[in-house]
Amino acid sequence: MKLKMFQIDAFANHVFEGNPAAVCPLDTWLDDGLLQAIAEENNLSETAFFVPSGDTFALRWFTPAEEVDLCGHATLAAAHVLFTHLSYTKQDVVFHTRSGQLTVMRNENGYCMDFPATPLAATDTPSALIEGLGKVPKDVLAGFDYIAVFNSEEEILSLKPDFEKLKELALRGVVVTAPGQEVDFVSRCFFPKLRVNEDPVTGSAHCELAPYWASRLGRNKLNARQLSKRSGRVECNVKDGRVFLVGNAVDFMSAEINIP
């Protein structure tokens, strides 16, 4: 059996920027163990698989370690593959996922993704978080990740996490954030439990970050930058319990997988 696969740089305007994701279009679902093996072989933060479902698509995401409930950049990559390579002609595409219905629309700036906003709650600060980051945050909140808030972009850039210590935490990962110098807010995202020590650009984290910063700054439209080595910029708009994330995507590679 041969499967088509695309590797897409999401939240990027040029290759070697943003966050790379693999995308495998399927006619029907394969065994979950095989999907996980493909994701482990790719060794990217996410591999996305989708199958047609009427006029929509069922979409799933796998890290090298496990399937996840929500992934922004691989959703963006999957939409890009449909629009660019698979002759999808509608203006928007609907995906059915573990996180409900997600819609991706083409616009003049690339793609706009309609995602659920994730509310944050106050939480005790685990000692493993402070030890793992090596610094005490100004505040710590919890969504599906720990959100550690710092005072400055410089503090975010200076962090040298202990990923083994961060693996001890209960939630998916740790997202650190602060006001930006040239954008409204900056972040870095650490997911060592998923075998993704630092994710380059994380759409799902902005479902947590954008509502927090919209409330703190008093406006719904925000520009953000994730300060990973590859870096990437995300436009955010918070409205009616949803977060609209705008970014572009570019092709890096197309390939064929050989399955015995």
* Residue 245, CA atoms < 13 Å, CB-side half-sphere: 34
Token pair listed for 250: 């570019």
First vs last Cα of the chain: how many Å apart? Answer: 6
Cβ atoms of 208 and 147 within 8 Å: the answer is yes
Measured distance CA(26)–CA(51) in Å, rounded: 5
Q: DSSP per residue over 24-69, as a string?
A: EE-SSPPPHHHHHHHHHHHTSS-EEEEEEETTEEEEEEE-SS-EES
Token pair listed for 130: 């402070």
For the chain, the helix, strand and coil percentages under 3-state DSSP, each to the nearest 5: 25, 40, 35
Quickly count helices (H) and strands (E) in the chain: 6, 18
The residues annotated with a catalytic role in the active site are: 46
Measured distance CA(49)–CA(175) in Å, rounded: 26
Beta strands in 79-195 (DSSP E): 92-97, 100-107, 110-116, 121-122, 139-142, 146-149, 174-179, 185-191
